[in-house]
Copies of this chain bind each other. A is one copy, B any other.
Amino acid sequence: MASASKKVHVTELVLRDGHQSLLATRMRTEDMLPVCDRIDRAGFWSAEAWGGATFDACIRFLKEDPWERLRKLRKALPNTPIQMLLRGQNLLGYRHYSDDVVEAFVKKAAENGVEVFRIFDAMNDLRNLRTSVAAVIKSGKHAQGAICYTTSPVHTTEHFIEQARELADMGCHSIAIKDMAGLLTPPRAAELFEALAKAVKLPLHFHSHTTVGVANISMYKAVEHGARHVDTTISSLSWGTSHSPTESMVAAFQGTPYDTGLDLPLLQEIGAYFREVRKKYHQFESEYAEIDTRVIVNQVPGGMISNLSNQLKEQGALSRMNEVLAEIPRVREDLGFPPLVTPTSQIVGTQAVLNVLTGQRYKSITNEVKMYLQGRYGRAPGPVNETVRKLAIGDEEVITCRPADRLKPEMHRLRDEVGELAKSEEDALTYAMFPEIGRKLLEERAAGTLKPEELKPRGVEAAPGTAPALAPT
Protein backbone atom coordinates (compact mmCIF):
# COMPACT_ATOMS: atom_id res chain seq x y z
CA MET A 1 0.00 0.00 0.00
CA ALA A 2 1.39 3.38 -0.98
CA SER A 3 2.09 5.56 2.00
CA ALA A 4 2.00 8.91 0.20
CA SER A 5 -1.20 10.87 0.80
CA LYS A 6 -3.76 10.40 -1.93
CA LYS A 7 -6.50 12.29 -0.18
CA VAL A 8 -9.99 11.56 -1.43
CA HIS A 9 -12.33 14.51 -1.98
CA VAL A 10 -16.01 14.14 -1.24
CA THR A 11 -19.04 15.56 -3.04
CA GLU A 12 -22.09 15.52 -0.76
CA LEU A 13 -25.29 14.64 -2.65
CA VAL A 14 -27.99 15.01 -0.01
CA LEU A 15 -29.30 18.33 -1.33
CA ARG A 16 -29.89 16.91 -4.84
CA ASP A 17 -29.50 13.25 -5.72
CA GLY A 18 -30.06 11.95 -2.18
CA HIS A 19 -33.63 13.20 -1.96
CA GLN A 20 -34.19 12.77 -5.69
CA SER A 21 -33.40 9.07 -5.24
CA LEU A 22 -35.40 8.40 -2.07
CA LEU A 23 -37.97 11.19 -1.67
CA ALA A 24 -39.03 11.87 -5.26
CA THR A 25 -36.99 15.14 -5.24
CA ARG A 26 -39.41 16.70 -2.80
CA MET A 27 -37.13 18.25 -0.19
CA ARG A 28 -37.92 21.91 0.32
CA THR A 29 -35.42 24.73 0.66
CA GLU A 30 -36.72 25.42 4.18
CA ASP A 31 -35.42 21.96 5.21
CA MET A 32 -32.02 22.54 3.66
CA LEU A 33 -31.09 25.96 5.03
CA PRO A 34 -31.02 25.15 8.78
CA VAL A 35 -28.20 22.61 8.30
CA CYS A 36 -26.20 24.52 5.69
CA ASP A 37 -23.82 26.06 8.24
CA ARG A 38 -22.80 22.55 9.27
CA ILE A 39 -22.56 21.31 5.69
CA ASP A 40 -20.46 24.36 4.93
CA ARG A 41 -18.04 23.62 7.77
CA ALA A 42 -17.62 19.95 6.81
CA GLY A 43 -15.03 20.59 4.11
CA PHE A 44 -16.74 18.90 1.15
CA TRP A 45 -15.10 19.42 -2.21
CA SER A 46 -18.58 20.35 -3.45
CA ALA A 47 -22.22 20.05 -2.49
CA GLU A 48 -24.47 18.88 -5.30
CA ALA A 49 -27.54 20.99 -4.68
CA TRP A 50 -29.13 22.02 -7.96
CA GLY A 51 -30.13 20.64 -11.35
CA GLY A 52 -31.24 17.12 -12.14
CA ALA A 53 -34.92 16.83 -11.30
CA THR A 54 -34.84 19.57 -8.62
CA PHE A 55 -35.69 22.35 -11.07
CA ASP A 56 -38.75 20.46 -12.28
CA ALA A 57 -39.84 19.47 -8.75
CA CYS A 58 -39.47 23.05 -7.46
CA ILE A 59 -41.75 24.36 -10.19
CA ARG A 60 -44.21 21.48 -10.40
CA PHE A 61 -44.73 20.45 -6.79
CA LEU A 62 -43.01 22.78 -4.34
CA LYS A 63 -43.97 26.06 -6.00
CA GLU A 64 -40.51 27.37 -5.34
CA ASP A 65 -38.54 29.54 -7.72
CA PRO A 66 -35.50 27.30 -8.37
CA TRP A 67 -33.30 30.34 -8.95
CA GLU A 68 -34.29 31.71 -5.59
CA ARG A 69 -33.32 28.38 -4.01
CA LEU A 70 -29.93 28.58 -5.68
CA ARG A 71 -29.29 32.09 -4.37
CA LYS A 72 -30.30 31.12 -0.85
CA LEU A 73 -28.06 28.06 -0.89
CA ARG A 74 -25.18 30.10 -2.27
CA LYS A 75 -25.53 32.52 0.64
CA ALA A 76 -25.84 29.68 3.17
CA LEU A 77 -22.80 27.83 1.80
CA PRO A 78 -20.14 30.52 1.45
CA ASN A 79 -17.22 28.08 1.63
CA THR A 80 -18.56 25.12 -0.31
CA PRO A 81 -18.77 25.06 -4.12
CA ILE A 82 -22.31 24.33 -5.27
CA GLN A 83 -22.49 21.65 -7.93
CA MET A 84 -25.29 21.09 -10.41
CA LEU A 85 -26.24 18.26 -12.74
CA LEU A 86 -26.89 19.45 -16.30
CA ARG A 87 -28.27 17.26 -19.10
CA GLY A 88 -26.09 18.76 -21.85
CA GLN A 89 -28.12 20.20 -24.68
CA ASN A 90 -31.35 19.29 -22.80
CA LEU A 91 -30.31 21.51 -19.87
CA LEU A 92 -32.96 20.76 -17.24
CA GLY A 93 -35.82 20.25 -19.69
CA TYR A 94 -36.85 17.38 -21.90
CA ARG A 95 -35.89 18.51 -25.41
CA HIS A 96 -32.83 19.75 -27.23
CA TYR A 97 -32.40 23.52 -26.90
CA SER A 98 -30.67 25.81 -29.31
CA ASP A 99 -27.16 26.91 -28.38
CA ASP A 100 -28.18 30.42 -27.38
CA VAL A 101 -30.54 29.02 -24.72
CA VAL A 102 -27.77 26.75 -23.42
CA GLU A 103 -25.38 29.69 -23.24
CA ALA A 104 -27.90 31.93 -21.51
CA PHE A 105 -28.76 29.20 -19.01
CA VAL A 106 -25.18 28.40 -18.07
CA LYS A 107 -24.36 32.11 -17.71
CA LYS A 108 -27.24 32.66 -15.31
CA ALA A 109 -26.57 29.47 -13.33
CA ALA A 110 -22.98 30.59 -12.86
CA GLU A 111 -24.01 34.12 -11.87
CA ASN A 112 -26.51 32.81 -9.34
CA GLY A 113 -24.04 30.52 -7.62
CA VAL A 114 -23.18 27.27 -9.43
CA GLU A 115 -19.44 26.62 -9.26
CA VAL A 116 -19.22 23.06 -10.61
CA PHE A 117 -21.23 21.93 -13.62
CA ARG A 118 -21.49 18.18 -14.11
CA ILE A 119 -22.61 17.75 -17.70
CA PHE A 120 -23.83 14.55 -19.34
CA ASP A 121 -25.92 13.22 -22.20
CA ALA A 122 -28.20 10.20 -21.80
CA MET A 123 -26.88 8.70 -25.06
CA ASN A 124 -23.25 9.54 -24.23
CA ASP A 125 -23.24 11.52 -27.48
CA LEU A 126 -20.54 13.94 -26.44
CA ARG A 127 -21.45 16.41 -29.17
CA ASN A 128 -24.45 17.18 -26.96
CA LEU A 129 -22.06 18.41 -24.23
CA ARG A 130 -19.95 20.70 -26.34
CA THR A 131 -21.91 23.95 -26.07
CA SER A 132 -22.50 23.75 -22.35
CA VAL A 133 -18.89 22.83 -21.59
CA ALA A 134 -17.71 25.82 -23.61
CA ALA A 135 -20.22 28.09 -21.85
CA VAL A 136 -19.06 26.91 -18.41
CA ILE A 137 -15.44 27.53 -19.30
CA LYS A 138 -16.36 30.99 -20.57
CA SER A 139 -18.06 31.71 -17.23
CA GLY A 140 -14.86 30.81 -15.41
CA LYS A 141 -16.48 27.88 -13.61
CA HIS A 142 -15.57 24.19 -13.28
CA ALA A 143 -16.70 22.09 -16.26
CA GLN A 144 -16.97 18.40 -15.45
CA GLY A 145 -17.64 15.98 -18.30
CA ALA A 146 -19.65 12.96 -17.19
CA ILE A 147 -19.85 9.62 -18.97
CA CYS A 148 -22.86 7.40 -18.28
CA TYR A 149 -21.68 3.95 -17.30
CA THR A 150 -23.44 0.95 -18.79
CA THR A 151 -22.58 -2.54 -19.98
CA SER A 152 -22.73 -3.87 -23.55
CA PRO A 153 -20.35 -5.29 -26.13
CA VAL A 154 -19.53 -1.75 -27.29
CA HIS A 155 -18.99 -0.34 -23.80
CA THR A 156 -15.46 -1.58 -23.45
CA THR A 157 -12.76 0.06 -21.38
CA GLU A 158 -11.31 1.41 -24.63
CA HIS A 159 -14.67 2.99 -25.48
CA PHE A 160 -14.79 4.83 -22.15
CA ILE A 161 -11.16 5.91 -22.47
CA GLU A 162 -11.86 7.35 -25.87
CA GLN A 163 -14.77 9.30 -24.45
CA ALA A 164 -12.68 10.57 -21.55
CA ARG A 165 -10.00 11.76 -23.96
CA GLU A 166 -12.62 13.54 -26.02
CA LEU A 167 -13.91 15.31 -22.90
CA ALA A 168 -10.36 16.31 -21.99
CA ASP A 169 -9.87 17.72 -25.50
CA MET A 170 -13.10 19.64 -25.08
CA GLY A 171 -11.47 21.47 -22.16
CA CYS A 172 -13.22 19.77 -19.25
CA HIS A 173 -11.57 20.28 -15.88
CA SER A 174 -12.49 16.85 -14.57
CA ILE A 175 -14.13 13.60 -15.67
CA ALA A 176 -16.93 11.76 -13.90
CA ILE A 177 -18.05 8.20 -14.35
CA LYS A 178 -21.76 8.37 -13.69
CA ASP A 179 -23.29 5.00 -12.83
CA MET A 180 -27.01 5.69 -12.50
CA ALA A 181 -27.96 2.03 -12.15
CA GLY A 182 -25.16 1.13 -9.75
CA LEU A 183 -23.92 -1.50 -12.22
CA LEU A 184 -20.19 -1.05 -11.93
CA THR A 185 -18.77 -4.03 -10.05
CA PRO A 186 -15.56 -3.90 -7.99
CA PRO A 187 -13.28 -5.70 -10.48
CA ARG A 188 -14.64 -3.61 -13.35
CA ALA A 189 -14.19 -0.41 -11.32
CA ALA A 190 -10.58 -1.32 -10.65
CA GLU A 191 -9.91 -1.97 -14.33
CA LEU A 192 -11.78 1.09 -15.61
CA PHE A 193 -10.26 3.65 -13.23
CA GLU A 194 -6.78 2.26 -13.63
CA ALA A 195 -7.10 2.65 -17.40
CA LEU A 196 -8.68 6.11 -17.16
CA ALA A 197 -6.00 7.36 -14.77
CA LYS A 198 -3.36 6.30 -17.27
CA ALA A 199 -5.16 7.79 -20.26
CA VAL A 200 -6.14 11.22 -18.99
CA LYS A 201 -4.45 13.53 -16.55
CA LEU A 202 -7.69 15.06 -15.24
CA PRO A 203 -9.14 14.37 -11.78
CA LEU A 204 -11.50 11.37 -11.89
CA HIS A 205 -14.85 11.43 -10.06
CA PHE A 206 -17.04 8.44 -9.29
CA HIS A 207 -20.79 8.87 -9.03
CA SER A 208 -22.79 5.74 -8.33
CA HIS A 209 -25.98 4.45 -6.77
CA THR A 210 -26.22 1.63 -4.23
CA THR A 211 -29.15 0.03 -6.05
CA VAL A 212 -27.28 -3.24 -6.61
CA GLY A 213 -25.48 -2.97 -3.27
CA VAL A 214 -21.95 -3.13 -4.70
CA ALA A 215 -21.22 0.62 -4.98
CA ASN A 216 -19.42 1.01 -1.65
CA ILE A 217 -16.91 -1.64 -2.63
CA SER A 218 -16.66 -0.40 -6.22
CA MET A 219 -15.98 3.11 -4.89
CA TYR A 220 -13.22 1.78 -2.67
CA LYS A 221 -11.67 -0.08 -5.61
CA ALA A 222 -12.08 2.96 -7.88
CA VAL A 223 -10.12 5.02 -5.35
CA GLU A 224 -7.43 2.37 -4.98
CA HIS A 225 -7.06 2.52 -8.76
CA GLY A 226 -7.03 6.23 -9.43
CA ALA A 227 -10.29 8.00 -8.57
CA ARG A 228 -9.64 10.95 -6.27
CA HIS A 229 -13.23 12.15 -5.93
CA VAL A 230 -16.23 10.26 -4.66
CA ASP A 231 -19.91 11.15 -4.41
CA THR A 232 -21.74 10.13 -1.25
CA THR A 233 -24.85 11.12 0.63
CA ILE A 234 -25.29 11.54 4.34
CA SER A 235 -26.28 8.19 5.90
CA SER A 236 -29.89 9.02 6.74
CA LEU A 237 -30.64 9.46 3.02
CA SER A 238 -28.31 6.76 1.74
CA TRP A 239 -28.42 3.17 0.43
CA GLY A 240 -30.88 1.42 -1.89
CA THR A 241 -31.49 3.45 -5.05
CA SER A 242 -29.59 6.32 -3.38
CA HIS A 243 -25.85 6.37 -2.64
CA SER A 244 -23.05 5.20 -0.39
CA PRO A 245 -23.30 6.78 3.08
CA THR A 246 -20.95 9.71 3.61
CA GLU A 247 -20.02 8.90 7.23
CA SER A 248 -19.33 5.23 6.42
CA MET A 249 -17.12 6.00 3.42
CA VAL A 250 -15.23 8.59 5.46
CA ALA A 251 -14.72 5.94 8.17
CA ALA A 252 -13.68 3.37 5.56
CA PHE A 253 -10.90 5.58 4.21
CA GLN A 254 -9.57 6.56 7.64
CA GLY A 255 -6.15 5.13 8.29
CA THR A 256 -5.39 4.77 4.59
CA PRO A 257 -3.52 7.06 2.20
CA TYR A 258 -6.97 8.04 0.90
CA ASP A 259 -8.20 9.57 4.19
CA THR A 260 -10.75 12.28 3.38
CA GLY A 261 -9.82 14.36 6.42
CA LEU A 262 -13.53 15.04 7.07
CA ASP A 263 -14.75 15.39 10.65
CA LEU A 264 -16.95 12.43 11.54
CA PRO A 265 -18.78 14.00 14.54
CA LEU A 266 -19.84 16.96 12.38
CA LEU A 267 -21.07 14.58 9.67
CA GLN A 268 -22.99 12.64 12.32
CA GLU A 269 -24.80 15.84 13.30
CA ILE A 270 -25.78 16.41 9.68
CA GLY A 271 -26.96 12.80 9.47
CA ALA A 272 -29.09 13.18 12.60
CA TYR A 273 -30.64 16.35 11.15
CA PHE A 274 -31.71 14.67 7.92
CA ARG A 275 -32.99 11.60 9.81
CA GLU A 276 -35.70 13.89 11.18
CA VAL A 277 -36.27 15.73 7.90
CA ARG A 278 -36.83 12.44 6.08
CA LYS A 279 -39.83 11.66 8.28
CA LYS A 280 -41.62 14.77 7.04
CA TYR A 281 -41.58 13.35 3.50
CA HIS A 282 -42.67 9.80 4.37
CA GLN A 283 -45.41 9.83 1.73
CA PHE A 284 -42.76 9.81 -1.02
CA GLU A 285 -40.91 6.74 0.26
CA SER A 286 -41.15 3.87 -2.20
CA GLU A 287 -40.74 0.17 -1.63
CA TYR A 288 -38.93 0.06 -4.96
CA ALA A 289 -36.06 2.03 -3.44
CA GLU A 290 -34.51 -1.09 -1.89
CA ILE A 291 -31.49 -3.14 -2.93
CA ASP A 292 -32.20 -4.99 -6.18
CA THR A 293 -29.57 -7.05 -7.99
CA ARG A 294 -31.80 -8.08 -10.89
CA VAL A 295 -30.16 -5.61 -13.27
CA ILE A 296 -26.96 -7.67 -12.98
CA VAL A 297 -28.77 -10.73 -14.32
CA ASN A 298 -31.01 -9.39 -17.09
CA GLN A 299 -29.60 -5.89 -17.79
CA VAL A 300 -33.00 -4.41 -16.85
CA PRO A 301 -32.89 -1.91 -13.94
CA GLY A 302 -35.26 -2.68 -11.06
CA GLY A 303 -37.27 0.53 -11.54
CA MET A 304 -37.87 -0.43 -15.16
CA ILE A 305 -39.10 -3.91 -14.16
CA SER A 306 -41.67 -2.30 -11.84
CA ASN A 307 -42.91 -0.02 -14.63
CA LEU A 308 -43.13 -2.91 -17.11
CA SER A 309 -44.95 -5.00 -14.58
CA ASN A 310 -47.60 -2.27 -14.23
CA GLN A 311 -47.83 -1.85 -18.01
CA LEU A 312 -48.34 -5.59 -18.56
CA LYS A 313 -50.82 -5.86 -15.71
CA GLU A 314 -53.01 -3.18 -17.27
CA GLN A 315 -53.13 -5.20 -20.45
CA GLY A 316 -53.81 -8.45 -18.64
CA ALA A 317 -50.51 -9.80 -19.90
CA LEU A 318 -48.42 -10.15 -16.75
CA SER A 319 -47.69 -13.75 -17.74
CA ARG A 320 -45.60 -12.45 -20.66
CA MET A 321 -43.10 -10.77 -18.31
CA ASN A 322 -40.29 -13.23 -18.90
CA GLU A 323 -40.63 -12.85 -22.68
CA VAL A 324 -40.46 -9.07 -22.29
CA LEU A 325 -37.39 -9.32 -20.06
CA ALA A 326 -35.73 -11.46 -22.71
CA GLU A 327 -36.77 -9.06 -25.51
CA ILE A 328 -35.38 -5.92 -23.86
CA PRO A 329 -31.69 -6.74 -24.47
CA ARG A 330 -32.54 -7.55 -28.10
CA VAL A 331 -34.30 -4.22 -28.66
CA ARG A 332 -31.45 -2.45 -26.91
CA GLU A 333 -29.01 -4.15 -29.27
CA ASP A 334 -31.12 -3.13 -32.30
CA LEU A 335 -30.90 0.46 -31.08
CA GLY A 336 -27.12 0.39 -30.69
CA PHE A 337 -26.90 -0.27 -26.95
CA PRO A 338 -28.02 3.02 -25.38
CA PRO A 339 -27.59 3.29 -21.60
CA LEU A 340 -30.97 2.44 -20.04
CA VAL A 341 -31.85 5.77 -18.43
CA THR A 342 -34.53 8.39 -19.08
CA PRO A 343 -35.66 8.57 -21.87
CA THR A 344 -34.07 5.47 -23.43
CA SER A 345 -35.33 3.05 -20.78
CA GLN A 346 -38.94 3.95 -21.67
CA ILE A 347 -38.21 3.84 -25.41
CA VAL A 348 -36.65 0.39 -25.22
CA GLY A 349 -39.14 -1.00 -22.69
CA THR A 350 -42.29 0.06 -24.51
CA GLN A 351 -41.02 -1.29 -27.84
CA ALA A 352 -40.10 -4.60 -26.20
CA VAL A 353 -43.64 -4.91 -24.81
CA LEU A 354 -45.09 -4.24 -28.29
CA ASN A 355 -42.73 -6.77 -29.87
CA VAL A 356 -43.99 -9.44 -27.48
CA LEU A 357 -47.69 -8.60 -27.34
CA THR A 358 -48.25 -8.10 -31.09
CA GLY A 359 -46.70 -11.50 -31.71
CA GLN A 360 -44.26 -10.10 -34.29
CA ARG A 361 -41.17 -8.00 -33.67
CA TYR A 362 -41.53 -4.41 -34.92
CA LYS A 363 -44.98 -5.07 -36.40
CA SER A 364 -45.91 -1.93 -34.50
CA ILE A 365 -43.27 0.71 -33.81
CA THR A 366 -43.56 3.63 -31.39
CA ASN A 367 -43.02 7.23 -32.46
CA GLU A 368 -40.15 7.48 -30.00
CA VAL A 369 -38.32 4.58 -31.63
CA LYS A 370 -38.86 6.28 -35.00
CA MET A 371 -37.42 9.56 -33.68
CA TYR A 372 -34.56 7.67 -32.08
CA LEU A 373 -33.75 5.96 -35.39
CA GLN A 374 -33.89 9.31 -37.16
CA GLY A 375 -31.02 10.37 -34.90
CA ARG A 376 -33.09 13.00 -33.16
CA TYR A 377 -31.74 12.06 -29.70
CA GLY A 378 -28.15 11.97 -30.95
CA ARG A 379 -25.80 9.21 -31.98
CA ALA A 380 -26.21 5.73 -30.50
CA PRO A 381 -23.16 4.20 -28.78
CA GLY A 382 -23.06 1.26 -31.22
CA PRO A 383 -24.37 0.65 -34.74
CA VAL A 384 -28.15 0.39 -35.01
CA ASN A 385 -29.89 -2.47 -36.83
CA GLU A 386 -30.45 -1.12 -40.34
CA THR A 387 -33.26 -3.58 -41.08
CA VAL A 388 -35.16 -2.28 -38.08
CA ARG A 389 -34.39 1.31 -39.12
CA LYS A 390 -35.79 0.64 -42.59
CA LEU A 391 -38.93 -0.86 -41.05
CA ALA A 392 -39.33 2.12 -38.76
CA ILE A 393 -38.64 5.13 -40.95
CA GLY A 394 -38.35 3.81 -44.50
CA ASP A 395 -36.34 6.27 -46.55
CA GLU A 396 -36.82 9.25 -44.26
CA GLU A 397 -33.79 11.39 -43.59
CA VAL A 398 -31.42 10.33 -40.81
CA ILE A 399 -29.80 13.13 -38.87
CA THR A 400 -26.09 12.52 -38.54
CA CYS A 401 -25.13 15.96 -37.26
CA ARG A 402 -25.50 17.14 -33.68
CA PRO A 403 -29.29 17.56 -33.25
CA ALA A 404 -28.90 21.14 -32.02
CA ASP A 405 -27.09 22.10 -35.23
CA ARG A 406 -30.50 22.16 -36.87
CA LEU A 407 -31.99 24.49 -34.27
CA LYS A 408 -32.13 28.23 -34.87
CA PRO A 409 -31.55 30.63 -31.97
CA GLU A 410 -34.74 30.69 -29.90
CA MET A 411 -33.99 32.68 -26.76
CA HIS A 412 -35.47 35.80 -28.33
CA ARG A 413 -38.71 34.06 -29.19
CA LEU A 414 -38.94 32.53 -25.70
CA ARG A 415 -38.44 35.95 -24.07
CA ASP A 416 -41.16 37.36 -26.26
CA GLU A 417 -43.55 34.54 -25.50
CA VAL A 418 -43.29 34.87 -21.74
CA GLY A 419 -43.35 38.67 -21.97
CA GLU A 420 -44.07 40.77 -18.89
CA LEU A 421 -44.48 37.70 -16.68
CA ALA A 422 -40.69 37.35 -16.65
CA LYS A 423 -39.13 39.82 -14.28
CA SER A 424 -35.63 38.66 -15.20
CA GLU A 425 -33.63 36.57 -17.63
CA GLU A 426 -33.83 33.79 -15.02
CA ASP A 427 -37.64 33.86 -15.26
CA ALA A 428 -37.42 33.59 -19.04
CA LEU A 429 -35.18 30.53 -18.63
CA THR A 430 -37.67 28.98 -16.22
CA TYR A 431 -40.28 29.40 -18.92
CA ALA A 432 -37.88 28.03 -21.54
CA MET A 433 -37.35 24.84 -19.53
CA PHE A 434 -41.02 24.28 -18.70
CA PRO A 435 -43.33 26.37 -20.87
CA GLU A 436 -46.51 25.17 -19.22
CA ILE A 437 -45.73 24.71 -15.53
CA GLY A 438 -43.04 27.40 -15.69
CA ARG A 439 -45.56 29.95 -16.91
CA LYS A 440 -47.99 28.80 -14.25
CA LEU A 441 -45.36 29.34 -11.54
CA LEU A 442 -44.67 32.86 -12.79
CA GLU A 443 -48.37 33.66 -12.93
CA GLU A 444 -49.03 32.35 -9.44
CA ARG A 445 -46.03 34.22 -8.13
CA ALA A 446 -47.42 37.43 -9.65
CA ALA A 447 -50.83 36.72 -8.16
CA GLY A 448 -49.36 35.79 -4.79
CA THR A 449 -51.05 32.40 -4.87
CA LEU A 450 -48.05 30.03 -4.81
CA LYS A 451 -48.92 27.04 -2.67
CA PRO A 452 -46.82 23.88 -2.38
CA GLU A 453 -48.46 20.48 -2.56
CA GLU A 454 -49.72 19.26 0.77
CA LEU A 455 -47.63 16.97 2.97
CA LYS A 456 -49.45 14.19 4.74
CA PRO A 457 -49.06 14.09 8.52
CA ARG A 458 -47.11 11.16 9.93
CA GLY A 459 -49.09 7.99 10.32
CA VAL A 460 -51.08 8.69 7.17
CA GLU A 461 -49.72 6.34 4.57
CA ALA A 462 -49.71 7.17 0.88
CA ALA A 463 -51.58 4.74 -1.35
CA PRO A 464 -49.05 2.17 -2.59
CA GLY A 465 -47.34 3.17 -5.80
CA THR A 466 -48.42 6.81 -5.76
CA ALA A 467 -44.89 8.07 -5.25
CA PRO A 468 -43.67 8.65 -8.81
CA ALA A 469 -40.82 6.38 -9.86
CA LEU A 470 -38.35 8.74 -11.51
CA ALA A 471 -35.38 7.24 -13.29
CA PRO A 472 -32.22 7.84 -11.29
CA THR A 473 -29.56 10.21 -12.54
Interface string of A266-294 (1 = CB under 8 A from B): 01100000010000000000000011111
* Residues A235 and B188 in contact in the complex (CB < 8 Å), given A213-B248, A214-B252: no
* Distance (whole angstroms) from the CB of A259 to the closest CB of chain B: 10
Contacts of A290 in B (CB 8 A): 235-236, 275
- Docked complex Cα distance between A190 and B254 (Å): 13
Instruction: Say whether A185 contacts B252, CB under 8 Å.
Output: yes
* Residues A252 and B217 in contact in the complex (CB < 8 Å), given A235-B290, A239-B239, A245-B291: yes
Instruction: Say whether A213 contacts B245, CB under 8 Å.
Output: yes
- Docked complex Cα distance between A273 and B252 (Å): 32
Name the interface residues of A190-247: CB closer than 8 Å to any CB of B. Answer: 190, 212-214, 216-218, 220-221, 235-236, 238-239, 245, 247
Instruction: Say whether B291 contacts A247, CB under 8 Å.
Output: yes
- Docked complex Cα distance between A190 and B220 (Å): 13
Q: Is A447 an interface residue (CB 8 A)?
A: no
User: Which chain A residues have a beta carbon within 8 Å of chain B's beta carbons?
Assistant: 1, 185-188, 190, 212-214, 216-218, 220-221, 235-236, 238-239, 245, 247-252, 254-256, 264-265, 267-268, 275, 290-294, 296-297, 459, 461
* Residues A185 and B254 in contact in the complex (CB < 8 Å), given A213-B235, A214-B248: yes
Which 9 interchain pairs have the tightest Cβ spacing?
A: A213-B248, A247-B293, A235-B291, A214-B252, A217-B220, A213-B245, A187-B256, A187-B255, A251-B296
19 further A-B contacts with Cβ under 8 Å, apart from A187-B255, A213-B247, A268-B294, are A185-B254, A186-B252, A187-B256, A188-B255, A212-B251, A213-B249, A214-B216, A214-B248, A216-B216, A217-B217, A217-B252, A218-B252, A235-B291, A235-B292, A236-B290, A239-B291, A245-B291, A251-B293, A267-B293
Contacts of A216 in B (CB 8 A): 213-214, 216-217
A-B contact pairs, 10 of them (CB 8 A): A1-B187, A185-B255, A186-B220, A187-B256, A212-B251, A220-B221, A235-B290, A235-B292, A236-B290, A275-B290
* Residues A264 and B291 in contact in the complex (CB < 8 Å), given A213-B251, A214-B251, A216-B217: no
Instruction: Say whether B297 contacts A265, CB under 8 Å.
Output: yes
Contacts of A297 in B (CB 8 A): 264-265, 268
Contacts of A245 in B (CB 8 A): 213, 291
- Docked complex Cα distance between A248 and B185 (Å): 10
- Docked complex Cα distance between A239 and B256 (Å): 24
Closest residue on chain B to residue A219 by CB atoms:
B217
- Docked complex Cα distance between A294 and B293 (Å): 29
Instruction: Say whether B238 contacts A291, CB under 8 Å.
Output: yes
Contacts of A218 in B (CB 8 A): 252
- Docked complex Cα distance between A24 and B234 (Å): 26
Contacts of A249 in B (CB 8 A): 213
- Docked complex Cα distance between A185 and B428 (Å): 51
Contacts of A186 in B (CB 8 A): 220, 252, 256
Instruction: Say whether A235 contacts B185, CB under 8 Å.
Output: no
- Docked complex Cα distance between A267 and B251 (Å): 30
Instruction: Say whether A251 contacts B291, CB under 8 Å.
Output: no
